[in-house]
Amino acid sequence: MITETLRRTPLFEVQKQLGARMVDFHGWELPIQFSSILKEHQAVRNACGLFDVSHMGQVIVEGPQSLDFLQVITSNDVSKIGPGKGQYSHILNERGGVVDDVILYCLAPHRYFVVVNAATTDKDFAWMRSHSKGYRVELQNLSELYGILAVQGPRAEQIVGDLLPEVKALDRFGVFEKEVFGKKCVVGRTGYTGEDGFEIIAFNEVLSRLWETLLVNGRSFGMLPCGLGARDTLRLEAGYLLYGQDIDDDHTPLEANYAWVVKFQKPDFIGKQALLKQKSEGLKKSLKGFKLLGGGVPRAGCGVYLDSVRLGELNSATYSPTLGVGIGTGYVNQTNLKVGSKVGIEIHGKKVQAEAVPVPFYTCG
Amino acid sequence: MANPNSCKFAKTHEWVSLNGNEAVVGISDHAQHEITDVVFVELPKIGRKVKQGEAVAVVESVKAAFDIYAPISGEISAVNESLVKDPSLVNQSPYDQGWFFKIKPSNPTEANNLMDHSKYQEFVKTTSH
């Protein structure tokens, strides 16, 4: 029997001291919670939360044809972002399926910083490498060098602003580079929680000091260290996708209700033809949101029924701390299922009444 | 208000406080800590006849669902409706306001195959990671 040692971020020991309960997340030993998922979730919605997302990957794309290259391998229009701006996008395969969902930051003309998911870092880099032939572009996988801290919540600007005053003037999806504790960091006004916040991409050497500084700065504002448990409840409420669970190589952004991330007016890009075809033929499945009308907690895998007809199953589901009720998303074959439709969600063998609702389930402000 | 030192404990972490014809059942402090935030509790119906070791209730946290087992056989005589409105009572007050249900015992000697508090604490120490 092969037992693999789990990878740890530089903050593992410090997090254990704070009472973190660890879990295996795609080969990484990460905190699922520090105090309580509910408390951490509420802290992000009402004050601030600090997340270590150093397991994610970073790829630098630079060179005179970096824009052309990125336009071909991603679904969104990269020409819309200039230096100082970031963008959420999907890397697609030829079938229009999602290789990964990413955030691209343009740091300078011909220089982009791409943040990719932890489980797909190697796959993404290999994919990008193989499709970069013929382009004057250089790719570097710098994932081993960097970590990321996410500061999320209405108090994030005040807390981070103490260390980085530039954030006060930063627009949503804005990005800048600055030296912090002697090492250059990339700071984006981005996040995965549905609240205002920042993701600070820093070299491993300064990560501990950054974590401690933010935690101390944030204490009087009610900031809590948060784990993957709260990260998941927050992102699902905000309608964000989880790669590998909601989208993957076999699901398209159109099916996932993320058509806005596909810019068909771009010249040809990988997946464009397949998606045009899917658009004209009509979708065979569509990701919908559901909210329980009764008590209970829906989970991934729970069947979704319209009377006795099984429409599909939930792929992401949880108890929503903000709404105080179970929520979930799932692909259903009845693509025209209207918001307000009453369905049954099968939990522990019993159908609990639920209704189709718009996603996101929660919006800030 | 149950005093853990006068309760009996099952290996599945339920406590039972025996008061003649009415035994009160809940889960231990160790259990609520392991389960983390309770967000939903499914209680048995009053009148249901249950056997020792039978799954009779469900506790849901954000991350997982857990079966709760009857520590002794008998008939469910009452359930704690407060848990429906405020499931967090299980975490906040596992031996008092977080009680789950009451059983009219059908075989009082069954409690002898349960552990007392100190044995339970030892059991938790040896089986915990």
- A66-89 confidence digits (pLDDT tens): 999 999 999 999 999 999 999 999
With an 8 Å Cβ cutoff, are B63 and A296 in contact? no
Q: Is residue A24 part of a domain?
A: yes
Residues A46 and A64 in one domain: no
Residues A85 and A38 in one domain: no
Residues A171 and A291 in one domain: no
User: Which amino acid, residue B69?
Assistant: Y
With an 8 Å Cβ cutoff, are B60 and A297 in contact? yes
Q: Is A117 on the interface with B (CB under 8 A)?
A: no
Looking at chain A, which residue has its C-alpha nearest residue B38?
Answer: A38
Residue-number span of the structural domain to which A317 is assigned: 284-357
Closest Cα in chain B, distance from residue A281 (Å): 39
Q: Which of A36, A40, A297 to mutate to test the interface with B (most CBs of B within 10 A)?
A: A297
A289-328 tens-digit pLDDT: 999 999 999 999 999 999 999 999 999 999 999 999 999 9
Q: Is A329 on the interface with B (CB under 8 A)?
A: no
Q: What is the pLDDT of residue B19?
A: 86
Residues A156 and A202 in one domain: yes
For the domain covering B4-127, report its CATH number. 2.40.50.100
**CA dist., res. B84 & res. B86, Å (int):** 6
Q: Which of B32, B33, B34, B37 to mutate to test the interface with A (most CBs of A within 10 A)?
A: B37
Residues A79 and A28 in one domain: no
Q: Is B36 on the interface with A (CB under 8 A)?
A: yes
Residues A233 and A148 in one domain: yes
With tokens 């039978």, the residue in question is: B54
Neighbours of A339 (CB within 10 A): 11
Lowest mean pLDDT among A19-23, A123-127, A214-218, A361-365: A361-365
**CA dist., res. A325 & res. A259, Å (int):** 28
Residues A218 and A77 in one domain: no
Residues A165 and A44 in one domain: yes
Residues A125 and A188 in one domain: no
Which secondary-structure segment (H or E) carries A167? none
Q: Which two tokens stand for residue A18?
A: 């704070």
With an 8 Å Cβ cutoff, are B65 and A299 in contact? yes
Residues A230 and A156 in one domain: yes
A238-288 tens-digit pLDDT: 999 999 999 999 999 999 999 999 999 999 999 999 999 999 999 999 999
Residues A42 and A76 in one domain: no
Q: Is residue A124 part of a domain?
A: yes
Single out the residue in A104, A131, A158 at which a domain terminates.
A131
User: Which amino acid, residue B16?
Assistant: V
Residues A163 and A232 in one domain: yes
pTM of the model: 0.96
Q: What is the pLDDT of residue B108?
A: 84
Q: In total, how many domains does chain A have?
A: 3
Q: Which of B43, B61, B62, B79 to mutate to test the interface with A (most CBs of A within 10 A)?
A: B62
Q: Is A296 on the interface with B (CB under 8 A)?
A: yes
Q: What is the pLDDT of residue B129?
A: 57
How does pLDDT run along chain B (129 residues), one tens digit per residue? 789 999 999 999 999 999 888 999 999 999 999 999 999 999 999 999 999 999 999 999 999 999 999 999 999 999 999 999 999 999 999 999 999 999 999 998 999 999 999 999 999 999 875
Q: Is residue A126 part of a domain?
A: yes
Q: Is residue A253 part of a domain?
A: no
Is B90 exposed, middle or buried, given 0-12, 13-18 or 19+ CB atoms closer than 10 A?
Answer: buried
CATH number, residue A327: 2.40.30.110
With tokens 């990260």, the residue in question is: A231
Q: What is the pLDDT of residue A1?
A: 45
Closest Cα in chain A, distance from residue B62 (Å): 6
